[in-house]
Amino acid sequence: MKASFKKLAARTGAVAALASSMAFALPAFAFAAEKKTSGIAAILPTMDEFIPMVVAFLILLAILAKWGWPMFDKVLVKRENTIRAALEQAEENRIESERVLKEYQDRLIDAREEASTIVSEAKQQAEAQRAEITSRAQDEADRIIAKARETIKTEQQAARGELQASVADIAVAAMAKVVEEDFSDADHRRLIERSIEEVGNLNA
Amino acid sequence: MPKNRMLIKKEVSTYAQVLLDAARQAGRQYEISAQLEEMKKVVRMSPGFAEVLRDTSLPEATRSEIIGEAFKEFDPDMIKFVTVMADRGEIALLPQVAAEYDRELQEEDNVVILDVATVIPLDDELREKIKAKFGAQFGKEIALREHVDSWLLGGMNVRANGKRIDCCTATRLDKMRVALSDVTTGGER
């Protein structure tokens, strides 16, 4: 298209140059025959100038009408089509861009919502894990404390039992000592009599 | 050579009957019963002595001398009897012979032999009280076999026909010790 435009411009330029040279050549003859005038006649063309100019103009007009204007018209139409096509393409691109933009925006919204959901779920999971860890730690602490209390209680009971046993051993040993050393035969006799009274049935 | 149960029982019965007849002739059947009980106790409590009595490789004279020394306060017939058993290698039957002797004695005399252990020797009044108490229980005359044992601390233990009642102070104190050990003192549980 660019090459044809250049060709058209070259042709049009040649025709215009020929017409101009003719238009300017004819006044040269006119100026050569120019006579001294004054008043309004000074600005009005004389007939020997006017006619070549009209002829040159007509020739130029004819040339332009025959070759120049269709060429320009063709170029203009082509240009118009090109621009229209470009505009249509641009419109399509704009629509496509808007569609893509809308799609991206939708995706972005979806992504944001998904991200928000993920963050929310992650927060919930973290919260649940924190609660579970706290609960476990509390349970473990409670278990340790309960075990420690149980151990202390057991040891206390064992110590108390040992103390009681020791006290009982000492008390009984003391009583046995008293009975063994201080009881007279009369005391032993009373004990035997009491045993006879309290003894159960040996023939049961 | 191992003997079967019937032979052993017959042998035990023979020993017991012979000893009882001899004791009756001497009028010391209850004393012999008490001595048999004491011998049985000595043999049971002294494994080394029991081993010597069972040792058949020991010369009879030596064994007889050891038995005579160990039971020198016992009836001479009793010592001879135990020596014969030892020489025949049957001293292990002594507990069974003692039980059979008592069984036959009780059956023939229609009495119950009651072993009574006390810290002090019994006097006649205590003997009568004991005989009256247990005679009423068994519906038979009671023949006492007395034992003095300072370990009892006080009271008495009685045993007859394989049954035993412990009324001694040592046992009571031991029960008291167990009860005191188990007492819960309260406070934090």
Q: Do B98 and B177 fall into the same domain?
A: no
Q: What is the pLDDT of residue A135?
A: 94
Q: Do B80 and B115 fall into the same domain?
A: no
Domain endpoint, select from B102, B130, B147: B102
Q: What is the mean pLDDT of chain A?
A: 83
Q: Do B154 and B124 fall into the same domain?
A: yes
Query: Would you say B164 and A204 are in contact if contact means Cβ atoms under 8 Å apart?
Result: no
Q: Is residue B188 part of a domain?
A: no
Domain count, chain B: 2
Q: Is residue B189 part of a domain?
A: no
Q: What is the pLDDT of residue B87?
A: 86
A11 band by pLDDT with thresholds 50, 70 and 90: low
| Residue A127 Cα to chain centre, angstroms | 24
Q: Is residue A126 part of a domain?
A: no
Q: Do B93 and B124 fall into the same domain?
A: no
pLDDT tens sequence across A32-51: 555 556 677 777 778 888 88
Which sign, positive or negative, has the C-alpha torsion A35, A41, A44, A46? negative
Query: Would you say B168 and B157 are in contact if contact means Cβ atoms under 8 Å apart?
Result: yes
Q: Is residue A16 part of a domain?
A: yes
Q: Looking at the predicted structure, is the pLDDT value of residue B102 above 90?
A: yes
pTM, entire model: 0.56
- Tell me the residue length of chain A: 204
pLDDT tens sequence across A85-95: 999 999 998 99
Asked if A172's CB is within 8 angstroms of B154's CB, the reply is: no
Q: Looking at the predicted structure, is the pLDDT value of residue A173 above 80?
A: yes
Domain endpoint, select from A96, A119, A144: A96
Q: Is residue A186 part of a domain?
A: yes
pLDDT tens sequence across B59-89: 888 888 888 888 888 888 888 898 888 888 8
Distance (Å, rounded) from C-alpha A76 to C-alpha A67? Answer: 14
Distance (Å, rounded) from C-alpha B155 to C-alpha B120? Answer: 9
Query: Would you say B164 and B158 are in contact if contact means Cβ atoms under 8 Å apart?
Result: yes
Question: What residues have CB less than 8 Å from B33, skipping those under 6 apart?
Answer: B23, B98, B101, B102, B105, B113, B143, B145
Q: Is residue A106 part of a domain?
A: no
| Residues on A contacting B at a C-beta cutoff of 8 Å | 153, 156, 160-161, 164-165, 167-169, 171-172, 175-176, 179-180, 183, 185, 187-189, 191-196, 198-203
Provide the domain limits for residue A181.
156-197
Domain endpoint, select from A96, A122, A145: A96
We report the CATH number of the domain holding residue B57 as 1.10.520.20
**How far does B154 lie from chain A, in Å, by closest CA?**
6
Q: What is the pLDDT of residue A161?
A: 84
Provide the domain limits for residue B176.
110-182
Domain count, chain A: 2
